[in-house]
Amino acid sequence: MSGWRSVVDQLAALDPAEWDAADLGDAELLTAVVDVQAAVNRLSALQTRLVRAADVRQAHRNDGMVSMRSWLTGHCRVSGREAVALVRAGRRLAELPEVEAAFTAGEMTSAHVGVIASAVTPARVAAAAGHGIDVAETDRVLATAARELGPEDTAKAVRRWVAGVDPDGQLADAADVDRRFSLAVSLTGRVYLSGHLDPVGAETVHTALESLAGADRPAGDLRSHAERQGEALVELCRRALVAGELPEVRGERPQVRVTIDWQSLSAARTAAGAAPAELPFAGPVTPETARRLACDASVVRMITGPHGLPMDVGRAQRTASAGVRRAVELRDDGCVFAGCTAPAAWCDVHHVVHWAHGGPTSCENGALLCERHHTAVHEGGFAVRRDPGTAVWHTVRPDGSEIVPRGPCRSG
């Protein structure tokens, strides 16, 4: 491990643009592709080992993060799914030395490792031992499969092993729960739903969706069942919001909020150059979509300064008013602690200069912090500060060193 820095420095110094693939013959070109894949595998193995070491030491706490997963998403800008896979692989491979050796040698990809790591849980390893199959045998069998097969066929071998030690599928990760649901915005802007439910929960959701999907269906409706259920889900949630019976969020009734500049909102439908509107979770939408939403909505005016930052709109009170919170959300978009990706809905408005020390409740003195990092600032010795007149935030450790400056644009 001592030479990892020199390896990374050498890679950083490489300029692939200087290599002209046209200079290579077909056989040489294909060999190069295989060699580069092996190098990628070895680097992935090194990354996995580094992540494991940081996870074991809980090094992420040095940057005020609650887990290696959250640290990876914030500081390496990988997706949540990639971060979970990295941490899990590091933990599992500590118990599977032959699999790790093959990975380190470049003989299998991170896809192979992901298949193995997701299935070979500690509970299943213990069950295998109860069947007379020790972890060394499991390690050998799966390493051999991954060396010789592609990820898909390796997955089949893994499923056969799982069927032998956990035929009822009861020994998955302890983190697995009966009900789980998530929304994820893709790079194209499409939002994907994923999750699973227990039978009773699934029946409840299915019944509610079917009642709307099948209601008043006109003759000639050519929508598929899946399309009708998708629209039913949105309609079910819309009715819940309109009914006003959902709990308040941060002191306000939950509502769909869209931000757009006044010129774009009031421009003609076909006007060129209109800036897109922004939904807090789903991201950019067209000005026409914003106009449609505004037809049956309250329009709140927010005055901004010369740099596009919201002006103070609050009163001199300790708790941020709805107006101050909207202004701070518009500027910060989410938790400003370095590396944190918590959205605005999960955050408190923190007084940068504490109320007790004369700090006003204002947009200028406010900062969005999630509960974890609000606690870290008040009780853990961390601090956040903003460059005056900008949306650039800096996070400072208890020892006075800076973690990472936070720019005005959030990623992901």
SS3 192: strand
- Range name among 148-157, 232-241, 271-280 with the lowest pLDDT average: 271-280
C-alpha 185/C-alpha 174 separation (Å) is 27
Average pLDDT over residues 3-13: 75
User: Can you give the length of the chain in residues?
Assistant: 412
What pLDDT score does 316 carry?
47
Q: Of 401, 337, 397, 339, which Cα lies nearest the Cα of 371?
A: 337
Higher pLDDT, residue 309 or 293: 293
Q: What is the DSSP string of 21-49?
A: GGGS-HHHHHHHHHHHHHHHHHHHHHHHH
Other residues' Cβ atoms within 10 Å of the Cβ of residue 222: 5
Predicted confidence band of residue 315 (pLDDT cuts 50, 70, 90): very low
DSSP H helix total and E strand total for the chain? 15, 9
Give percent of the chain with pLDDT exceeding 70: 84
What pLDDT score does 314 carry?
41
Q: Is the pLDDT of residue 410 over 50?
A: no
C-alpha 255/C-alpha 260 separation (Å) is 16
Tokens representing residue 90 in the block: 């590091």
What pLDDT score does 310 carry?
60
Q: Where are the alpha helices (DSSP H) in 58-177?
A: 68-75, 80-93, 97-104, 110-119, 122-130, 135-148, 151-165
What pLDDT score does 382 carry?
93
The H or E element containing residue 238 is helix 225-243
Average pLDDT over residues 24-28: 90
Q: What residue type is assigned to position 78 of the chain?
A: V
The CB-based long-range contact list for 322-326 (8 Å cut-off, 24+ gap) reads: 322/251, 322/252, 324/349, 324/361, 324/362, 324/363, 324/366, 325/250, 325/251, 325/252, 325/349, 326/300, 326/302
Contact between 117 and 158 under an 8 Å Cβ cutoff? The reply is no
Give just the sign of the alpha carbon dihedral 205, 207, 210, 215.
negative
Kindly give, in sequence order, each residue whose CB lies less than 8 Å from that of residue 181, ignoring residues fewer than 6 positions away.
193, 194, 195, 197
pTM greater than 0.75? no
Average pLDDT over residues 247-267: 73
Give just the sign of the alpha carbon dihedral 142, 148, 154, 157.
negative
Average pLDDT over residues 8-37: 85
C-alpha 81/C-alpha 162 separation (Å) is 22
C-alpha 170/C-alpha 127 separation (Å) is 11
Using the CB atoms, write b or e for 348-369: b if 16+ within 10 Å.
bbbbbeeeeeebbbbbbbbbbb
What pLDDT score does 276 carry?
80
Across all residues in the chain, what is the average pLDDT?
A: 83
Predicted confidence band of residue 75 (pLDDT cuts 50, 70, 90): very high
What pLDDT score does 412 carry?
37
CB-neighbour burial class of residue 336 (10 A; exposed 0-12, middle 13-18, buried 19+): buried
What's the pLDDT tens digit per position in 123-144? 888 888 888 888 899 999 999 9
C-alpha 345/C-alpha 184 separation (Å) is 16
**Top-confidence range, 21-35, 146-160, 283-297:** 146-160
What's the pLDDT tens digit per position in 354-378? 876 778 888 889 999 998 899 899 8
What's the pLDDT tens digit per position in 203-253? 999 999 999 887 767 677 788 889 889 989 988 988 888 787 888 776 667
Q: Is the pLDDT of residue 74 over 50?
A: yes
Predicted confidence band of residue 385 (pLDDT cuts 50, 70, 90): very high
Higher pLDDT, residue 171 or 35: 35
Give just the sign of the alpha carbon dihedral 326, 331, 336, 339.
positive
